[in-house]
């Protein structure tokens, strides 16, 4: 079986067989897929797009497969999806680390249960509970910083409004 081409994927990277994208999506989707690496878009956008492409491809392939081939395609899909999900989790963790560093918020210790090492990518990323904990800490720090200047800002706006009203009343009367 190792020397035989895959019935849908063939021998190379090109896909042939039962999967062809619908005609209505070939314009914009084709342009985006060709220019995707060149567009100045966030990495998270590219990773989420990769996950959608993987899902769309494998759903179509699995729908047309039978028996043992279907099971092997499901296993391949799981591996591909897991690698993309790990990369996305790593990116989210990196973004949270940058925000936490900028706001001087402490992160959980790497030895705690809040961290997990990716099997495919070998990156350390926060588990969902750890991500939520760091997000709450960042939110609280932002709220604390906002509470310092919001009363002053409100008072300045009030004084400016009062002065504007007095000037208009003086000019009119």
Q: What is the pLDDT of residues 95-124, one digit of tens each?
A: 999 999 999 999 888 888 889 888 877 888
34-38, 44-48, 93-97, 115-119: segment of lowest average pLDDT? 34-38
Closest among 99, 94, 133 to 113, alpha carbons compared: 133
How far is it between the farthest Cα atoms of the chain? 96
Contact between residue 95 and residue 106 where contact means Cβ atoms under 8 Å apart: no
Closest among 128, 125, 118, 55 to 91, alpha carbons compared: 125
Three-state secondary-structure class, residue 66 = coil
Three-state secondary-structure class, residue 75 = helix
> What residues contact residue 169 under an 8 Å CB cut-off, 6+ apart?
none
Q: What angle do CA 77, 79, 4 make, to 5 degrees?
A: 65
Q: What is the pTM of this model?
A: 0.63
């Amino acid at each position: 079986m190792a020397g035989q081409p895959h019935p849908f994927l063939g021998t190379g990277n090109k896909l042939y067989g039962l999967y062809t994208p619908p005609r209505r999506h070939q314009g914009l989707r084709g342009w985006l897929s060709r220019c995707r690496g060149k567009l100045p878009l966030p990495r998270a956008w590219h990773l989420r797009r990769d996950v959608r492409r993987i899902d769309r491809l494998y759903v179509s392939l699995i729908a047309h497969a039978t028996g043992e081939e279907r099971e092997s395609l499901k296993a391949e899909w799981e591996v591909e999806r897991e690698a993309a999900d790990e990369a996305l989790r790593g990116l989210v963790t990196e973004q949270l680390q940058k925000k936490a560093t900028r706001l001087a918020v402490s992160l959980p210790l790497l030895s705690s249960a809040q961290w997990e090492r990716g099997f495919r990518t070998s990156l350390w990323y926060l588990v969902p509970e750890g991500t939520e904990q760091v997000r709450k800490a960042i939110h609280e720090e932002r709220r604390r910083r906002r509470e310092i200047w919001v009363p002053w800002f409100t008072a300045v706006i009030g004084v400016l409004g009062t002065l504007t009203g007095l000037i208009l009343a003086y000019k009119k009367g």
